[in-house]
Amino acid sequence: MGLFDLFRRPSAEALAQRAAHEQRVADIQKCLSNGEVPTAIRMRLEGARKGTLPWIATLTPAELMIVRSHGLRPIAAVSATCWLHYGWSWTEGHAQGWDMALRRLREEARAAGANAVLDVKMRTVALGVENSMDFTLLGTAVYVDGLPPSNEPIVATVPALEFVKLLEADVVPTGIAIGAHYEWLNDWRGTARMTWQGNAESQQLSELWEIVRQRAHQQLRAHARAQGNGVLAHLNFSQMFESEQNRQKQYLARHIVVATTVDARRGAALPHDIKIVVDAHAGGTPLTGTTRHHQSYASNEAEGGI
Amino acid sequence: MATAIPAHAAERLKGLRSSAHSTGVFTSDFSVNEFLLVRKAGFEPIGLCVGTCVYHVGIQYGSWSKNQELDVLSKAMYHARELAMSRMRAEATAMQADGIVGVKLTIKRLEWDNQLLEFIAIGTGVVHGDGHKGFRAHDGGPFTSDLSGQDFWSLLHSGYRPVEMVMGSCVYHVAHRGMLAGLGSVGRNVELENFTSAMYEAREIAIERMQFEASQAKAEGVVGVDLHEGSHGWQTHVIEFFAVGTAVVPLDQEIAPEKIEDPIMVLSVND
């Protein structure tokens, strides 16, 4: 299309496209608000399940090899999004947003007739829409040979290789747990201002952090309890802000913890011997799992370890 | 236990030239490990295959407060990639390759003009060591795949072979916040359904297009799918949703799951 086409009447093709778009969007919104999978996606998932459409896997060939040797077969790429506006609380919005996305992802997995979703990645589109964020999950729905479709498919936020590694050790990754807490501190006595003091702990701010972090972790534990008996692979995100109103300082501290929940039998050790090898993989090796799996939270631990 | 150096390598170390490679010199962008594993899989590299395309992308604006696919841009991204890929494939056909592994598809914006994009596809053409033609794509031409040499080996050992690198693209304009006016959302966390459905629609279009390409290639599945979002110098709210992966079919003699060797737990001592 050139510049002058802007002034032309839309073609029949363009009009048909527009109508299809409107119908699709209306369907997406209706289905999501009813807690259902949008029609087009449901049909794609069903096609993949029945084998009339090619299956789609985010897995690498090495992962495909290992899941197949363990009786798992990929069905389809599944995804879910919740774009949330924080009118009330940014911090708690993160728990809400991921929770909603998780629920939708499970719904897609169910529609695909899956037993589990592997390789689930937490993603966010960098599109600065004020006071809001998109919470997106992407993964591969799989079924286990010989098992009936599950009503409560497992959601594993670890890559497929690690999923299998955990299964072999009798540990089942089950989902995502989130803990998020924030707290305001009104410094009406001005004790957090320490300009003239020497070496001293800022007790008020320490206490604020202690409370915020403890609450966030309490929440994480409560959220995890419903899904399994432990969590792995923490992702920590925290921020503190200072603002001033009527010459009084205020502080806001927030902490978000996201983790993979697991169901592990206590005391069961890894059954394998360990071999020492030279790894022939190029670049970041999947053996150590150092590749970055999620991109929604850039680590803000800028100062690094102690 | 020391492993003896093979006779051929020893001769070479003594300064004797090799006559082992019948087609003369081969070129590739393989790393050492990649090279070894492609050969382990029974293939020999014969030459780098390159395809490029400089494309002038037309103009299309999304209306400020509307979610919509920008089909002019979607088509441009498709067409230009297709041209680069088919030129690369033509090179491979010319050198009688059975396939191309390790295809890297990159896009560059040319400095002097915002609307000029350069698409480059580079991969290494390979032939089957014993001249087996069963690895060709559905149309008898070379297969294409963005899998590395290591991935290629793993794929064959999981019972599949690559057919075609498939992709789906959807350039989408996400509405601006203007449509929030009158939402009265202060004091509540609410979902922005318009934004959510924009993401759903754009992603679904990209996936469906990729899956359609896979169906056309008569594939059983698509492996190594990467779904990502990118912007190539467009307005701020214009995003390309891009799905790419390698379409695969089972080997003539499919490997039963129980025949796949059990993985061994290892500790990498590289670093």
Q: Which residues of B touch A70 (CB under 8 A)?
A: 257
- The answer on pLDDT for A176 being more than 80 is yes
A-B C-beta contacts closer than 8 Å: 224
> Would you call A291 an interface residue with chain B, using a CB distance cutoff of 8 Å?
no
The model's pLDDT over B86-144, given as tens digits with 9 standing for 90+, comes to 999 999 998 889 999 999 988 888 778 877 888 899 999 999 888 788 899 988 999 99
Q: Is the pLDDT of residue A6 over 90?
A: no
Within 10 angstroms of residue B24's Cβ, the number of other Cβ atoms is 8
What are the pLDDT digits (tens) for B200-259?
999 999 999 999 999 999 999 999 998 888 777 777 788 889 999 999 999 877 667 777
CB contact under 8 A, A1 and B58: yes
**Closest listed residue to residue A134, CA positions, set B265, B13, B102, B203:** B203
- Tell me the two tokens of residue A288: 């150590």
pLDDT given at position A301: 45
Among A1, A134, A288, A295, the residue to mutate for chain B (most B Cβ within 10 A): A1
Residue-range domain boundaries for chain B: 25-177+191-253
Q: Does domain A19-168 match CATH 3.40.50.300? A: no
Among partner residues A1, A17, A280, which is closest to B33 by beta-carbon distance? A280
Give Cα B3 to chain centroid, integer Å. Answer: 37
Percent of chain B exceeding pLDDT 90 equals 34
Q: Which residue has the higher pLDDT, B109 or B170?
A: B170
Q: Please name the member of B176, B208, B268 whose beta carbon is closest to the beta carbon of A44.
A: B208
A34 close to B (CB below 8 A):
no
Residues 191-230 of A with CB under 8 A from B: none
Contacts of residue A111, defined as CB under 8 A and 6 or more positions apart, other chains included, come to A37, A41, A42, A45, A46
In terms of CATH architecture, what is B25-177+191-253? Answer: 2-Layer Sandwich (3.30)
Q: What percent of chain A has pLDDT over 70?
A: 87
Q: What is the ipTM of this complex?
A: 0.75
Q: What rounded mean pLDDT belongs to chain A?
A: 83
Contacts of B160 in chain A (CB under 8 A): 61, 64
In chain A, residues 35-64 whose CB comes closer than 8 Å to chain B = 38, 40-41, 44, 53-62, 64
Whole-number Å distance between alpha carbons of B241 and B102: 22
Local confidence band at B73 (pLDDT 50, 70, 90 cut-offs) = confident
Distance from CA of B147 to the nearest CA of A (A): 8
For residue B69, pLDDT over 80 is answered with: yes
At B90 the pLDDT is 93
Model pLDDT, residue A1: 47
Q: Where in chain A is the domain with CATH 3.30.110.70?
A: 19-168
| pLDDT value of residue A274 | 75
pLDDT of residue A303: 43
Higher-pLDDT residue of A1 and B60 is: B60
pLDDT beyond 60 at A3:
no
